[in-house]
Amino acid sequence: MYADISGRSIIKAGTLPDVKITFQNQTPMRPAEALQALDTVLASQRITTIFQGPQYVKVFPESEASVEGGPIIDLPPDQLPDSSSLLTYIVKPKQGLGQRLMSAVTPFAKFHASIIYIPGGSAVPAKAGLPPQISAIHGSDDILVLRDYSSNVRRMLKVLSESSMLDK
C-alpha cells in the first residue's frame, strides 16, 4: 500500500518486527496525507519510514532511527505535517543562544542524539553522530540540527519561536 501511494520501492530492514496493522480513515485523503497517516500508524508500532531519494522508501525499526538521516526539510514550521514522518530540520539560533536552545528543545526529542548543536566556525564534535566526511562547518553562525518526527520538530520550533531564540 505504501509503495502504491508513494510510487517508490520499499527497502525493508531485516530487523523489522512482525506486526499486523489495521487502519481505516474516515475521510478521503490526498496521497501526501495518506503517507503521513501511514507514517504515524507505523510509528505507533515502532516502525519508521524514510524516503531515500525519488525511488525508494526505507522501512526499519524505530530503534534504528537515530542513525538514519531524514530528508532535509526547509518548510516554514507551520507547514510541517503533524505526523510521524522522519525529517531533518536546520535552524540558526540567535548569537550565543545555541546551548540554551538545545536545552529548551531536548525534552521534545523522541530519539537519542536527534538534536545536534554545532557552534559557529568550529569543527563538528566527534560525538555529534555525523559522518566522518563532515569535519568542519564554515562560517560564524551557530547551527542546530533537528532529526526527529515531524510533529516533534514542529513543537520544538514553536517553543523556540515563542521564546524568540531563533534568527528570523
Q: Tell me the one-letter amino acid at 119.
A: P
- Amino acid at residue number 38: L
Report the pLDDT value the prediction gives residue 124, as an integer from 0 to 100: 52
Residue 95 clears pLDDT 90, i.e. is over it: no
Task: Specify whether 101 is located in the same domain as 142.
Answer: yes
φ, ψ of residue 14 in degrees (nearest 5): -70, -10
CA atoms of 50 and 30, how far apart (whole Å): 19
Q: Is residue 40 part of a domain?
A: yes
What does the angle CA 64 – CA 43 – CA 5 come to, to the nearest 5 degrees? 105
Say if CB 121 and CB 139 are below 8 A apart: yes
Categorize the per-residue pLDDT at 125 as very low, low, confident or very high, splitting at 50, 70 and 90: low
Q: Residue 103 pLDDT > 50, yes or no?
A: yes
Q: What amino acid is encoded at 111 in this protein?
A: F
31 and 94 co-located in one domain: no
Residue 71: all three cell numbers together:
530528508
95 and 157 both lie in a single domain: yes
pTM: 0.76
**Average pLDDT rounded to a whole number, residues 109-124:** 77
pLDDT number for residue 99? 78
Do residue 152 and residue 91 come from a single domain? yes
More confident of the two residues 100 and 81:
81
Residue 129 · residue 113 · CB < 8 Å:
yes
Domain membership flag for residue 155: yes
User: Last residue of some domain: 41, 63, 85?
Assistant: 63
The strand ranges marked E within 25-105 are 47-52, 56-61, 86-91
Q: Are residues 51 and 90 in the same domain?
A: no
pLDDT in tens, 6-53: 999 999 998 998 888 888 889 999 999 999 999 999 999 999 999 888
Instruction: Identify the domain containing residue 36 by its residue range.
Output: 2-63
